[in-house]
């Protein structure tokens, strides 16, 4: 019987450093909805897995992405969040000025002419891609694959459902907690916990065989969340629904009247942040708020149990348990993918 990973995999700082380098750095990460940066001068700034990044719609209409770090002595440039109406970026520390292509323009009172060196002090560009109304970034320019290759078969799964362009944007919520990112992913790719951890969801799906399947060689796991007629949530989601996990930190909820995108990012061995954006179809406001609150409740329920698991894995007395071949085969595959990446070359 396949067993779950040893507790060290969830605790050890060297393993974590390798995860950051080999898994997080080359991956694409959801930055947020693209409608938030639709006009020249709009920007969106955040820390993803600890990396300070921003995307900016330049005056020429092109969306560019940069590290949010000044090339002088490393100050943060833009405050985290959304902004509008900028055509340059001034560092708040000593006032260096960059244009909206990231080129260094001005170094006030520096005292020396930087000459040609100025051209090599542009902001560090990172990769950016817009797909299905969502902005994605990749911090490593020399690692990983292009966006389409990274997303693989997930785009085909989404093609059967409406996306942000045909639904109304509703809002965003964030959940943070003291857990290891892999406990959340282990949990995400099995339906075994569903009835006990999400009793309301379990009831809504009652009487149905919950079907999970994987694509992209196990890097993406999808879960049929079509609700039974008696669940009360059918109105909000429509007749069919699919929930999708894509390695390492993207989740999507797809339905006839709902689209939710979630970024699950790791801040340390023991800290995860989940940022969620929701869109709905023609529903009254109360139904939208209800669906939004329920979506948040599900993430909080998962964070709750994964926090408990992480605490126990860190307690130093856990011994690996068996994984169910029928209920937890995607957990086994997820853990194998992590191991393969981290142990490659050894
Ligand atoms: S750190 Fe930005 S101008 Fe000095
Ligand atoms: Fe769950």
Most confident among 15-24, 187-196, 228-237 (mean pLDDT): 15-24
Give the start-end residues of each E strand in the chain.
29-33, 43-48, 51-57, 63-67, 81-83, 88-90, 97-99, 104-106, 125-131, 134-138, 168-177, 212-215, 220-224, 241-246, 250-255, 258-268, 271-280
What is residue 204's predicted lDDT score, i.e. its pLDDT? 78
What is residue 228's predicted lDDT score, i.e. its pLDDT? 58
Closest atom of ligand 1 to 74 CA is 1
Q: How remote is the CA of residue 93 from the centroid of ligand 1, in Å?
A: 5
Q: Domain 28-143 falls in which CATH fold?
A: Rieske Iron-sulfur Protein (2.102.10)
Spell out the alpha helix ranges (H) of the chain.
Answer: 13-19, 147-151, 154-158, 181-188, 194-197, 199-204, 234-237, 285-313, 329-343
- Residues 151-193 have pLDDT tens digits of 999 999 999 899 999 999 999 999 999 999 999 999 999 999 9
Report strand pairing: 250-255 vs 63-67.
unpaired
Ligand 1, atom 1, lies closest to the CA of: 73
Q: How remote is the CA of residue 194 from the centroid of ligand 2, in Å?
A: 6
Tell the residue number behind the tokens 């049929």, with chain if given: 224
Question: Which residues make Cβ contacts (< 8 Å) with residue 40, sequence separation at least 6?
Answer: 57, 58, 59, 60, 61, 87
Query: Is the per-residue pLDDT at 231 higher than 50?
Result: no
What six digits make up the tokens of 142?
């020399």
The residues spanned by each domain of the chain are 28-143, 152-343
What is residue 237's predicted lDDT score, i.e. its pLDDT? 55
Q: How remote is the CA of residue 322 from the centroid of ligand 2, in Å?
A: 19
List all residues whose CB is within 6 A of at least one atom of ligand 1. Answer: 70, 72-75, 91, 93-96
Q: Which residues surround ligand 2, an ion (CB under 5 A)?
A: 302
Residue 43 and residue 37 in contact, taking contact as beta carbons nearer than 8 Å:
yes
Lowest mean pLDDT among 86-90, 199-203, 269-273, 302-306: 199-203
Grade residue 206 by pLDDT with cuts at 50, 70 and 90.
Answer: low
**How much is the average pLDDT of 139-155?**
96
Q: How remote is the CA of residue 100 from the centroid of ligand 1, in Å?
A: 17
Question: Which residues make Cβ contacts (< 8 Å) with residue 42, sequence separation at least 6?
Answer: 36, 56, 57, 82, 83, 84
Ligand 1, atom 3, lies closest to the CA of: 94
- Residues 45-84 have pLDDT tens digits of 999 999 999 999 999 999 999 999 999 999 999 999 999 9
Q: How remote is the CA of residue 55 from the centroid of ligand 1, in Å?
A: 20
What is residue 318's predicted lDDT score, i.e. its pLDDT? 97
Separation between Cα atoms, residue 176 and residue 345, nearest integer Å: 34
Question: Which residues make Cβ contacts (< 8 Å) with residue 315, sequence separation at least 6?
Answer: none
Q: How remote is the CA of residue 71 from the centroid of ligand 1, in Å?
A: 7
Closest atom of ligand 1 to 91 CA is 2
Ligand 1, atom 4, lies closest to the CA of: 94
Ligand in nearest proximity to the CA of 210: 2
Taking CA atoms, 8 is separated from 11, 187, 212, in Å, by 5, 18, 28
What six digits make up the tokens of 324?
């169910």
Assign domain 152-343 one CATH number from 1.10.600.10, 3.90.380.10, 3.40.50.10490, 3.90.1150.110. 3.90.380.10
Ligand in nearest proximity to the CA of 93: 1
Separation between Cα atoms, residue 133 and residue 167, nearest integer Å: 11
Residue 245: name the closest of 237, 236, 254 by CA.
254
Closest atom of ligand 1 to 96 CA is 3
For residue 189, the tally of other CB atoms under 10 A from its CB is 24
For residue 142, the tally of other CB atoms under 10 A from its CB is 6
- Among 91, 121, 124, name the best residue to mutate to test ligand 1's pocket (greatest count of ligand atoms within 8 A of Cβ): 91
Write the burial class of residue 216 (CB in 10 Å: 0-12 exposed, 13-18 middle, 19+ buried). Answer: middle
Q: How remote is the CA of residue 160 from the centroid of ligand 2, in Å?
A: 23
Q: How remote is the CA of residue 77 from the centroid of ligand 1, in Å?
A: 9
Q: Quick check: helix, strand or coil at residue 270?
A: coil
- Among 69, 70, 89, name the best residue to mutate to test ligand 1's pocket (greatest count of ligand atoms within 8 A of Cβ): 70
């Amino acid at each position: 019987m396949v067993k779950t990973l040893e507790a060290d995999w969830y605790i050890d700082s060297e393993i974590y450093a390798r995860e950051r380098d080999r898994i997080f750095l080359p991956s694409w990460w959801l930055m947020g909805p693209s409608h938030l940066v639709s006009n020249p001068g709009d920007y969106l700034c955040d820390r993803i897995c600890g990396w300070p990044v921003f995307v900016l719609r330049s005056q020429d209409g092109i969306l560019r992405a940069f590290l949010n770090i000044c090339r002088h002595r490393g100050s943060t440039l833009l405050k985290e969040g959304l902004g509008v109406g900028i055509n340059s970026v001034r560092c708040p520390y000593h006032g260096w000025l960059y244009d909206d292509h990231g080129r260094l323009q001005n170094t006030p009172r520096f005292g020396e002419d930087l000459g040609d060196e100025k051209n090599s002090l542009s902001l560090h560009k990172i990769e950016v891609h817009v797909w299905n109304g969502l902005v994605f970034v990749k911090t490593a320019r020399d690692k990983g694959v292009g966006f389409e290759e990274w997303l693989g078969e997930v785009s085909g799964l989404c093609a059967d459902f409406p996306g942000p362009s045909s639904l109304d944007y509703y809002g965003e919520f964030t959940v943070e907690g003291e857990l290891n990112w892999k406990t959340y992913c282990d949990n995400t790719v099995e339906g075994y916990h569903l009835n006990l951890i999400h009793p309301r969801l379990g009831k809504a799906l009652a009487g149905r065989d919950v079907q999970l399947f994987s694509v992209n060689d196990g890097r993406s796991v999808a879960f049929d969340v079509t609700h039974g007629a008696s669940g009360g949530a059918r109105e909000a989601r429509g007749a069919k629904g699919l929930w999708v996990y894509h390695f390492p930190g993207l989740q999507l909820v797809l339905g006839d009247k709902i689209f939710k995108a979630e970024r699950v990012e790791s801040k340390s061995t023991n800290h995860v942040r989940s940022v969620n954006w929701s869109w709905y179809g023609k529903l009254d406001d109360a139904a939208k708020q209800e669906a939004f609150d329920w979506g948040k409740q599900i993430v909080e329920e998962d964070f709750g149990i994964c926090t408990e698991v992480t605490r126990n894995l860190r307690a130093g007395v856990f011994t690996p348990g068996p994984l169910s071949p029928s209920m937890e085969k995607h957990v086994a595959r997820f853990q194998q993918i992590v191991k393969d990446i981290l142990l490659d070359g050894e």
